A and B are shown apart, each in its own frame.
Chain A
Amino acid sequence: MNISLDVRNVSLIYPLRTKFSLAPKDHRVGGRDKRINGQGRLRFVKALNDVSFSLSSGDRLGLIGNNGAGKTTLLKVLYGIYPPSHGTIAAQGRIDALFNINLGFRREATGRRNIELRGLINGWTQSEVDARMEEIVAFSELEDFIDMPIKAYSQGMAARLAFSVATSLKPEILLMDEWIGAGDPPFQEKSRQRMRELANRAGIVVLASHNHKLLRDTCNKIMMLDKGSVLHFFPDIDAFEKHSC
């Protein structure tokens, strides 16, 4: 199958809904940002503004921009968590995402049970969970602890387990909010290798990061966002390098 991701004029208007409440008014929603429009209970922020790009198999798009530029929001729109207010997204290929790798982990459950739960949440069938179980356990190097509750794990062990499950994907289109890693130095090297393999296996990768060196090494296209709009789209790394100099 030809894998592609075509994003046309996507905008996201994020309603800053003031819920009907009897509590004292919340003044934390400021009005100084020019992207915040509307008044009273009908305030909204234009989180993405007319974003367009097209990716085909083999493309690795890096998203850069300051905090609040819209990188994570764009990833969540691409993944289908936020519906775009305008524009269209046409994806050929299954989209997987690595956002919060600790999501759904339960301290009281064993490592094995957590793998199972996380797999089900990812949309795997029970037989897919069973098929991947031993590989995940082996990668995490937690064979001796896998049937213990994860509350007994050290932070590093829990992170290794979360990383191992989250990256046990066969993605066609992979969305990542920052490059992830885990564990002690030897495991970190192993996780870097795993991430490289994951990115190589995926038909398309969209990676949001502040690490420009990582993006140069990983991506062949860069999109710079600012306040929800595309500031620059670099069709290759050379163009990005020239702009950065």
Chain B
Amino acid sequence: MVSTIFVGLVDLVSGVRLWPVWTALAREDIDDQHRRTTLGPVWLTINYLMFAGTFIFVIHPSNTEQGSIYAPYAAIGLMIWFYLMDNINQAVTLFAREESYIKGTRLPLSVYIMRLGMQALIRAVYTLTGCLAIVLISGFFPTFGWLWSVLAILVILATIPAAIILLAMLGTFFPDSQFIISNLMRVGMFLTPIFWIYTPGEGGARGMLYYWNPFTYYINLVREPILSGAPHISDAMTCIAISAFAWILALYLLGRLRHEVVFAL
């Protein structure tokens, strides 16, 4: 198993080294999507602001304690969710979309993984701008505690390639998964504490959705330092454990299946 993980790691490193290729392709992908528009990718910020603004306006709780933090709470949750959803939904069909490259070039599979990660990151920068605007307008201004959120974002960024590998492999060998995943992500937005606030000690379905949902921990990790000044250690430990497990499994699958993908497309 260790040697297989090492093979996966070699593929990953060789792909990362080709950063001029995947950054150029990702930039071109984003430009292509907005080339004919006047505002270009700024539409991503506008879309986010409209979506987040509508939800905050409609769902804003009357409870003063929750109401005072609700706008940044929902804005940050939604920004992270959009970034994760973008990666996850596209990862399932990644290798099928890249078939002509995979069957026509010798680029390592990790080039396509990084290309998708980079695309989603560029889009996320535009939503981040909108999110920051909502947070600042809500009266939350930068403190040193926000550095924890920056660190949390780095943890998410570092985990995304592993998630893309896992889902791309799943989608390649089980094509139906693209529909299962997109449906799960659609309902997942409502099952994850993005718009609703969990009250500690609350049991029932909400408690289960809160504790058994891995997205909860990543979103909390970014959100808590901005709202309360520091992250919860338990969130950080859970995220690191999930990320480490995801990476081990992803590298194993990449090492084990990287030569099989070309035959499965």
A interface residues with partner B (beta carbon < 8 Å): 14-15, 17, 19-23, 76, 79-83, 99-100, 103-104, 106, 108-109, 113, 116-117, 120-121, 125-126
B interface residues with partner A (beta carbon < 8 Å): 20-21, 24-25, 28, 31-32, 35, 100-107, 173-176, 259-260, 262-264
The residue from A21, A81, A108, A125 contacting B35, defined by CB atoms under 8 A apart: A108
Given A104-B101, A113-B28, A117-B24, decide whether A15 and B174 contact each other with a Cβ distance below 8 A: no
The residue from B28, B35, B259, B264 contacting A117, defined by CB atoms under 8 A apart: B28
Extra inter-chain contacts (10) besides given A82-B262, A106-B32, CB under 8 Å? A15-B260, A19-B174, A20-B176, A21-B175, A21-B176, A81-B262, A82-B263, A113-B28, A120-B20, A120-B24
Q: Which residues of B contact A99 (CB under 8 A)?
A: 104
Query: Is B104's CB under 8 angstroms from A106's CB?
Result: no
- Give 24 CB contacts A-B under 8 Å: A14-B263, A15-B260, A15-B264, A19-B175, A19-B264, A20-B174, A21-B174, A21-B176, A23-B176, A76-B103, A80-B106, A81-B102, A81-B103, A81-B104, A81-B262, A82-B263, A100-B104, A103-B104, A104-B101, A106-B28, A108-B31, A109-B28, A120-B21, A121-B107
Query: Is B24's CB under 8 angstroms from A17's CB?
Result: no
- Separation in Å of the A191 CB from the closest CB of chain B? 20
Query: Is B264's CB under 8 angstroms from A81's CB?
Result: no
The residue from A17, A21, A103 contacting B100, defined by CB atoms under 8 A apart: A103
Query: Is B263's CB under 8 angstroms from A17's CB?
Result: yes
Query: Is A79's CB under 8 angstroms from B106's CB?
Result: yes
Given A79-B106, A103-B101, A117-B25, decide whether A15 and B20 contact each other with a Cβ distance below 8 A: no
Query: Is B24's CB under 8 angstroms from A116's CB?
Result: yes
Query: Is B31's CB under 8 angstroms from A100's CB?
Result: no
Residue of B nearest to A95 (CB): B106
Q: Is the interface of B mostly helix, strand, loop or mixed?
A: helix
Query: Is A81's CB under 8 angstroms from B28's CB?
Result: no
Q: Is the interface of A mostly helix, strand, loop or mixed?
A: loop
Q: Which residues of B contact A108 (CB under 8 A)?
A: 31-32, 35
Given A19-B173, A21-B174, decide whether A126 and B20 contact each other with a Cβ distance below 8 A: yes
- Separation in Å of the A116 CB from the closest CB of chain B? 7
Query: Is B32's CB under 8 angstroms from A15's CB?
Result: no
Top 8 A-B residue pairs of the complex, sorted by shortest distance between their CB atoms:
A83-B259, A120-B21, A103-B104, A80-B106, A108-B32, A100-B104, A15-B263, A108-B35
Residue of B nearest to A124 (CB): B20
- Separation in Å of the A18 CB from the closest CB of chain B? 10
Q: Which residues of A contact B31 (CB under 8 A)?
A: 108-109
- Separation in Å of the A86 CB from the closest CB of chain B? 14
- Separation in Å of the A78 CB from the closest CB of chain B? 11
User: CA of A82 to CA of B25 in the docked complex: distance in angstroms?
Assistant: 24
User: CA of A106 to CA of B105 in the docked complex: distance in angstroms?
Assistant: 17
Q: Which residues of A contact B102 (CB under 8 A)?
A: 81
Query: Is B20's CB under 8 angstroms from A125's CB?
Result: yes
Residue of B nearest to A82 (CB): B262
- Separation in Å of the A119 CB from the closest CB of chain B? 10
Q: Which residues of A contact B103 (CB under 8 A)?
A: 76, 81
Q: Which residues of B contact A117 (CB under 8 A)?
A: 24-25, 28
The residue from A22, A76, A82, A109 contacting B176, defined by CB atoms under 8 A apart: A22
User: CA of A20 to CA of B24 in the docked complex: distance in angstroms?
Assistant: 35
Q: Which residues of A contact B176 (CB under 8 A)?
A: 20-23
